């Protein structure tokens, strides 16, 4: 049987409450007393019982990560970040996959809240933009932090200036001589679709290149939409010399379709994506992309949340820096 708080209290010659104070880092414990308690606890190999703590404290000491699997890599990075943040706070993490296209996903979220009572939530895109879900969360009074947070949807989280990042990458590609640059957009349910599209438009405008609507085709952040988009663009009357795919999956679809047609990359066509997934280094040619430090963002979001839970100080939205990754899929414009 593991040692209980009572055992530690007895052995240290103090009350249970004092031991509790020490373990919860509460004030009003003499340093000397604290030392004794910690040492005795160590000797007895004491670990607070999480269930008892939760029950008595009326908190679950659990944070819930809700996601709608956009990509495994992305979610695993976020998971890692959230776990990192939880570590230091003696908090656990629970996972809740949600399919935002399903009719009852909001109901399912509500049910989860009722059953498991997490003390807070971390949300990833596109759930961060799901108004019906956010409404339920706000009604429930459970605090949440967003990865990829926008101030009108969340009060805390981590964010990245995707628009600015894309504009910067556009400038780079334009400097390589490209003028006909196409864009395959992201999925409409994601806020990122608009931010990345805006960055594309900004890039054109800043270079004084006129917008050509035939160079923008709809995608959905998938490999398949990259293949389809590339087909549409490359079959057009005057095809682009460069394609900005809204994420790396889409970019891989573009690369496949281009190679399939015998085009050289980047000789005939430059391609760039967004996310810097591991795959972007593992395809041929390696993919120029924009690095989004997802793990860091997950960690920061969770930290904002935990700070709020524990200290009731409203955590804000933290801006995380991006990074351009220039690889082999982009090069000088042909001709």
Partner DNA sequence: CTGTTAGCGCTTTCAT
Partner DNA sequence: ATGAAAGCGCTAACAG
* Integer Cα distance of 331 and 173 in angstroms: 8
Reduced to 3 states, what is the DSSP secondary structure of residue 290? strand
Which of 129, 124, 121, 163 lies closest to 147 in space, CA to CA? 124
* Integer Cα distance of 27 and 38 in angstroms: 15
224 is an interface residue for DNA by CB under 7 A: no
Binding mask 254-293 for DNA (x = CB under 7 A): ----------------------------------------
As a whole number of Å, the CA-based R_g of the chain is: 25
Binding mask 27-46 for DNA (x = CB under 7 A): xxxx-xx------------x
Between residues 14 and 252, which has the closer beta carbon with respect to DNA?
A: 14
Give the other-Cβ count within 10 Å of 294's Cβ.
27
Cα–Cα distances in angstroms (integers) from residue 109 to residues 2, 71, 148, in the given order = 36, 20, 20
The DSSP code for 157 is: E
Report in angstroms how near the CB of residue 1 gets to DNA at its nearest.
Answer: 6
16 binds, among a copy of itself, DNA, none (CB under 5 to 8 A by kind): DNA
69 is an interface residue for a copy of itself by CB under 8 A: yes
Which residues within the stretch 142-201 sit at the binding site for a copy of itself (CB under 8 A)?
Answer: none
1 is an interface residue for DNA by CB under 7 A: yes
Report in angstroms how near the CB of residue 313 gets to a copy of itself at its nearest.
Answer: 26
- Which residue from 21, 183, 187, 190 is in contact with DNA, where contact means CB under 7 A? 21
* Integer Cα distance of 92 and 300 in angstroms: 16
Is the alpha carbon torsion for 215, 218, 220, 225 positive or negative?
A: negative
Buried b (16+ CB within 10 A) or exposed e, 39-60: ebbeebebebeeeebbeeeeeb
114 is an interface residue for a copy of itself by CB under 8 A: yes
252 binds, among a copy of itself, DNA, none (CB under 5 to 8 A by kind): a copy of itself
94 is an interface residue for a copy of itself by CB under 8 A: yes
- The one segment of 51-59, 109-117, 200-208, 301-309 that binds DNA by CB under 7 A: 51-59
- Which residue from 23, 91, 200, 223 is in contact with a copy of itself, where contact means CB under 8 A? 223
Which positions touch DNA (CB under 7 A)? 1, 4-6, 13-21, 23-24, 27-30, 32-33, 46-49, 52-53, 55-59
């Amino acid at each position: 049987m593991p040692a209980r708080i009572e055992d530690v209290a007895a052995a240290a010659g103090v009350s249970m409450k004092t031991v509790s104070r020490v373990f919860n880092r509460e004030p009003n414990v003499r340093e000397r007393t604290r030392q004794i308690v910690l040492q005795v606890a160590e000797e007895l190999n004491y670990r607070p019982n999480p269930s008892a703590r939760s029950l008595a404290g009326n908190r679950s000491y659990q944070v819930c990560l809700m996601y709608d699997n956009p990509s495994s890599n992305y979610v695993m990075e976020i998971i890692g970040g959230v776990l990192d943040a939880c570590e230091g706070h003696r908090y656990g993490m629970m996972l809740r996959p949600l399919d935002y296209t399903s009719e009852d996903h909001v109901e399912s979220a509500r049910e989860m809240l009722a059953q498991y009572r997490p003390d807070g939530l971390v949300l990833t895109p596109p759930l961060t933009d799901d108004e019906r879900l956010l409404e339920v969360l706000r009604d429930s009074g459970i605090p949440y932090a967003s990865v990829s947070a926008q101030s009108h949807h969340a009060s805390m989280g981590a964010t990245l200036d995707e628009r600015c990042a894309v504009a910067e990458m556009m400038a780079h590609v334009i400097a390589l001589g490209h003028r006909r640059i196409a864009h395959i957009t992201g999925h409409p349910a994601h806020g990122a679709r608009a931010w990345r599209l805006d960055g594309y438009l900004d890039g054109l405008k800043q270079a004084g290149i006129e917008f050509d609507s035939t160079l923008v085709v709809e995608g959905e952040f998938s490999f398949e939409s990259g293949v389809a988009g590339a087909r549409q663009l490359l079959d057009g009357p005057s095809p682009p010399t460069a394609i900005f795919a809204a994420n790396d999956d889409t970019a891989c679809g573009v690369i496949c379709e281009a190679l399939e047609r015998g085009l050289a990359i980047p000789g005939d066509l430059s391609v760039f994506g967004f996310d810097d997934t591991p795959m972007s280094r593992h395809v041929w040619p390696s993919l120029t992309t924009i690095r989004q430090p997802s793990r860091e963002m997950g960690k920061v979001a969770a930290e904002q949340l935990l700070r709020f839970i524990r200290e009731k100080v409203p955590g804000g939205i933290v801006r995380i820096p991006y990074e351009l990754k220039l690889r082999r899929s982009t090069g000088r414009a042909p001709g």
